[in-house]
Structure 1
Amino acid sequence: MKTFTCSCGNRLYFENTRCLSCGKTLGYLPDLGLIAPLIAAGGSAWRPDIEAHRGRRYRKCRHYAVENVCNWMIAEGDAGVFCRACRLNEAIPNLGKPGNRQAWLRIEKSKRRLIYTLDRLGLPVAGKTVDSARGLAFAFLEDADDSLEFNDDGGSGRIFTGHLNGTITINLAEADPSTRERVREAMNEQYRTLLGHFRHESGHYYWYRLVESGPWLGTFREVFGDERADYATSLARYYSSGPPANWSRRHVSAYAAAHPWEDWAETWAHYLHLVDTLEMARDYELAVHGSRIRALESTRDGTADMDDLLADWHQLTQALNALNRSMGQPDAYPFTLTGLAVEKMRLVHRVIADSAS
């Protein structure tokens, strides 16, 4: 993730819809990968107020123009009414229920950050209308009964955040910070965020998409373990007994020790944490040990490799955690990457690079 610049020179952020300096309407242009100031071009059309792109024309996604939960634009030649992020939605909340629109807005912000990162990594992002067999979709659902305990063990009307056959489901309750914090404490988790959920579940999706029936399955089993181990039994064991005492030597998180699928999804999520945060740090020209932070693009031009990124990540997260503590806040990144966990991160990097190529 990075920041952008308005035609007036003001710094812009990924979720912005209006420049606070000059007042221009803003929109994200997925084909260009940037937040741009816009000029009305008649009817529903807009054109970027950017010298090199003023000949292009766009219109607002319906969820931008009508629902105000999006800021993405649709290129003039695209006949759809939804942007490429919103057309991945299979189900959205009941907007007639108080509070649901704000919850949906929070969810959409995290989802669009995920799509931005997937695009930056060159990963396939196609909906089920394009790829019915392995397309990606999202469903944002709420429990049928509000009295259900959010961390109960199931039952009629209970919605579970997870992935199945290309569809990532997010329980709407995750958008409520107080509920999410209560669950985090009840489950003894170090970290629980909406964006973290999207990154984790996308890991399950891309295992299904890139690893399950591809050339990486054998290597995956060598590094992560055999995913054919019974999943339900493994999770039941984790929730009854917790992770093994030495889990931190092999896994990025305690939950990653539950099963190889969860290990992959947790490692994938941490890789996306690393990629996005390093890119933002580089955008702000931050430095460690006197040198500017390196980001993913520097691995592509040959000036850095995964070891360089991991070294910068180690220093940056130490600084982030120290800064948070200075403000009386919990650690921004309450994890330590060591041993086999680092090798697993490298394998995720290789699989993504192979897919992008």
Structure 2
Amino acid sequence: MTPSTPIAPAELQRARSILSEIVGAYDAKVVGQQGLRTTLLAALVSGGHVLLESVPGLAKTTAAESIAQAVNASFKRIQCTPDLLPSDIIGTQIYDARTGAFQTQLGPVHANFVLLDEVNRSSAKTQSAMLEAMQERQTSIGGTHYPLPKPFFVLATQNPIEQEGTYHLPEAQLDRFLLKEVLDYPTIGEEAEIVRRVNSGLYETDQDRPGVSLEDVLFLQSLAKRVYLDASILNYIVQTVYVTRHASDYLPPKLASYIEYGASPRASIAFSTVARALAILAGRDHVIPEDVKGYRHQVLRHRIILNFEAAADDVSPETIIDAVFGAVQAP
């Protein structure tokens, strides 16, 4: 797993400078939510997508828009509703009577940053169209393929309450998201700071756009692919994911009985990808075990499928994930 070209100190310094600019722009707009910030950065550096679960009003849109502005990227927000059509997302062909020909109009998915708000409120057909664009990095309109811009980042949100009239994402589609983050309410101090900023008009003032470009983001993504991942850590990742599929051999019988399906090899790929990104965020050119363990919940919580007995006993995926990692010795 030795990278073809070792990372030079000057490249790490450039990465730190770029990330510092992005973090500064984020913190200027978003109060708290440091976990969300790290998740967004890790996904951005990895080139993956994020599924975000939270109640309304926790700055999801502000966070995504802040990151997009920080890197001078195009940003589109799509409010998902049951009557939303695939063509409303990917685009369509419109007949022009003046020319007697069809003109292609690209949809809002053709942006660097796309926020899919309440993705579980759109129909299964619309969800499939969006997730296909996420996977293939292109759309097909009238038989012609249109590549999506680079970088391309999707932040999809779903509301854990008010589930009436929603369309749950199938497990195979959930697996397409690199990370799943769950947000909680801000602390008293953070909420007071939010109110203070709103009352003072701070959010309405124009911030100087930092000197970060899309080319800088692509540089971070290419740099992350060259981060050294030792064979022992790779084995640690694979063994841990293997335990989720053979829990009865490693976990207490009661905990093992809660798992309906374990994680697929895509989870191992996600762990290695995210670990490399976290190493870049930490200013390192190599992965350490903490890079894997630190994001175990975000990588696995939407990939381990629990049964109805787990729901009845109020057992969370995080409890199972912690037990899985406890069963495997870190290098």
Q: State if a TM-score over 0.5 links the two structures.
A: no
Normalising by structure 2, report the TM-score. 0.29
Task: Report 1 or 2 for greater relative contact order, CA contacts < 8 Å, sequence distance ≥ 6.
Answer: 2
Q: Which has a greater percent of helix?
A: 2
Q: TM-score, normalised by structure 1?
A: 0.27
